[in-house]
Structure 1
Amino acid sequence: MKIFVAMDDTDNLNSRGTGKLARDTAAAIMKEFHVDGITRHQLFVHEDIPFTSHNSCAVIHVEARETDDKEWLFETAKECMLNDFVEGSDPGLAVACADEVIPPLIAFGRDAQRVVLNQEKARGIAKNLGIRLEGLGGTEDGVIGTMAGLGLAKGGNDGRYLLCGGVRDMTGPADVDSLIEAGIDAVFNIHGGEVKEGRIIIEEGKSAKPCPVDGRKILFVEDIDGKYHAVKRG
């Protein structure tokens, strides 16, 4: 059973980002459950929306045993977030089983990428769908991006992975076989062809950034002068 743990607006300009907090939270969750990955989702950038740098949210994908595991996951994530609360942030947290994220919430996620939304709508959807949602400080505006994250994660074709198997531990150029072994499902060039072998150029000190595509973890590459270069998308 897949359960999504979504968080948003957890940082300020001088603190670690939401991605770092999501990875730390995932580490705590991994003591009890398998974490399939963490995805980052880009939200609408607009002058009426307060954000730190890029206005993105993060979603931890957990393989749980039963529906009741949601409460443990929520309390564990909440403790991690409150222990690392940063003044000036407006964090939100939500946890939902994949089958609870139905079309209206997926549509809300898409809307959050193109229009300005409000807490009332986010909280209304959470209440109607029986999804536990909480603001954990500040204005609590993070509840908007948090609910959007659930919808975007369930959609399965948005954003990129912040954590995916052992891929983050591999930095710099890597062979396709090594990337597959580390947790990527496939490598495709931007024109649609699958790359099954060879060396992928990845910036030194950086790791590959695969994207979720129809339930698979896909790394996109671009052919530049006969060499495949990893592409950052989402």
Structure 2
Amino acid sequence: MTVYVAMDDTDNLESRGTGRLARAVAAALAETYTVYGVTRHQLFFNEAIPYTSHNSCAVVHLPGEGKANIPEIFETTKEIMLGDFVEGSDPGLAVAAAEQISPALVAFGKDAKCTVLTQEKARTLSRNLGIRLEGLGGTEDGVIGSMAGIGLASTGNDGRFLQIGRVREITGPAEVDTLLGAGIDMICTLDGRPVDGGTIWCKEGKSVKPCPIGGRAVLYVEEKDGQLWGVKRD
């Protein structure tokens, strides 16, 4: 079983982003729980939706946990988020166990990538599924993205990893074996060719960005001037 901790709309243009906050939450939760990774999920770009820069949410994955631990996980995360609250943000927090996630929540997540949704729909869905959801300031519009994030993360087929294993510790060009040993399960080209050896190139000071695919961490690469470069996908 896995517990998903989703947060959205936690920043303004001057503050650290939701991804950085999610990694801080993951570090705090790792003192008690096993953290598999942190994923980023792209939501709908539309003028009817107020967002800071990219309209994405972030989800911390805690494998091996269940509903019994949700109250403590929720309160720990809530305390961190409230301590980091910045004016102009509209944060929302949702925490759910895999057993609470229904096809309706997955559909809600997918709709959030292409449709304008409402707080009312997010809150109704949370009540019907028994999912802990709370707005933590501002307009509380972040409850929409946090519920969507849980639905999307649960599929194992959306977004990209902000953190998994030791991947963020490896910056610049790296050998395939090093990346596979750091938490990436598979490396392949965009046309599906597996990459088993050689060097994967990345900008100095940056780390590669694997994606959840079929429940695995997959890094896509593309060839440029005879070199294989990591691809960043939304």
Partners of 2:3 and 2:65 within 8 A in 1: no
Aligned to 1:126: 126
CA deviations 1:14-55 (Å, max 9, x no partner) are 100000100101110000011000000000011010000000
Structure-to-structure mapping, 1:1-234, within 5 angstroms: 1-234=1-234
Gaps of 5+ in 1: none
Q: Output the CA distance in 2 between the equivalents of 1:103 and 1:137.
A: 29
Q: AA paired with 1:25?
A: V
Q: CA deviation at 1:78?
A: 0.2
Q: Output the CA distance in 1 between the equivalents of 2:66 and 2:53.
A: 36
Q: CA deviation at 1:65?
A: 4.0
Q: AA paired with 2:136?
A: L
Partners of 2:3 and 2:66 within 8 A in 1: no
SS for the counterpart of 2:54 is: coil
Percent identity (aligned): 61
Q: CA deviation at 1:64?
A: 3.8
Q: AA paired with 1:18?
A: T
Q: Output the CA distance in 2 between the equivalents of 1:53 and 1:133.
A: 23
Q: Output the CA distance in 2 between the equivalents of 1:44 and 1:28.
A: 30
SS for the counterpart of 2:73 is: helix
Q: AA paired with 2:149?
A: G
SS for the counterpart of 2:36 is: strand
Q: CA deviation at 1:63?
A: 2.0
Q: Output the CA distance in 1 between the equivalents of 2:89 and 2:133.
A: 17
CA deviations 1:112-159 (Å, max 9, x no partner) are 000100000000000000001000000000000000000000111110
Q: Output the CA distance in 1 between the equivalents of 2:9 and 2:149.
A: 12
SS for the counterpart of 2:221 is: strand
How many residues in Structure 1 have an aligned counterpart in Structure 2?
A: 234
Q: AA paired with 1:96?
A: A
Q: CA deviation at 1:98?
A: 1.2
Partners of 2:156 and 2:212 within 8 A in 1: yes
Q: AA paired with 1:220?
A: Y
Q: CA deviation at 1:102?
A: 1.1
SS for the counterpart of 1:86 is: coil
Q: Output the CA distance in 1 between the equivalents of 2:138 and 2:48.
A: 17
Q: AA paired with 2:185?
A: D
Q: 1:65 to 1:120 in 2, by over 3 A?
A: closer
The CA RMSD over aligned residues, in Å, is 0.7
Q: Output the CA distance in 1 between the equivalents of 2:133 and 2:156.
A: 21
SS for the counterpart of 2:187 is: strand
Q: Output the CA distance in 2 between the equivalents of 1:163 and 1:138.
A: 28
Q: TM-score, normalised by structure 1?
A: 0.99
